[in-house]
Amino acid sequence: MNSHIQRASFWKSKTPRYFAIGFIVGIVIFSILFSILIKKLKYSSINVNISNDGITVDNAKADFVEVSNQSAGSQVVVSQVRVSERSWLAVRENNGDDMGRILGAQQIEAGEHDAVVIDLLRNTSSQVMYAVVIYKDGGKGEFDYDSSMLLEQEGKIVLSRFVAQ
């Protein structure tokens, strides 16, 4: 009988409530920290290079843009892009090695993005080649060709070409 009274008094004390509140707060803090860790891991990349000298692993976060051939129209969909800082994606006419006029631009935040839609000021034409290039954000909040610099890696402009169908 005494043990029953002791159990009842235990549950009436504040100790179980404090334990429950502490447990819930701990779960919330763990969840927040875990989600931050997952986001950081999501944006990290590992480049594996295989050569005659062996396999090397490079953890560099390489900026890149990937676009596929698509229908001509008033929008371009970028398949995948990764940037290390806020940047702009711009669709440009492609005249051989020379870049032509800019048809449209879309700002993106740092990180990896899929299926980014760029609205164009002028439609793409069928059977014509275009390029999506990455510009560093000039800090003005809007695309400014004069203050935004082309993003380069290893001395080459980061871009992806496609043909409008």
pLDDT of 72 above 60:
yes
Q: What are the residue ranges spanned by the domains of the chain?
A: 2-42, 64-164
pLDDT at 59 over 50: no
Q: Are 39 and 108 in contact (CB under 8 A)?
A: no
pLDDT grade, residue 44 (50/70/90)?
Answer: very low
pTM exceeds 0.75 for this model: no
Percent of the chain with pLDDT strictly greater than 70: 74
**Which pLDDT tens digit goes with each residue over 94-112?**
877 778 899 999 999 989 9
Strand, coil or helix: what is 134? strand
Query: What is the architecture, at CATH level 2, of domain 64-164?
Result: Sandwich (2.60)
Please tell me the distance from the alpha carbon of residue 145 to that of residue 123, in angstroms, as a whole number: 20
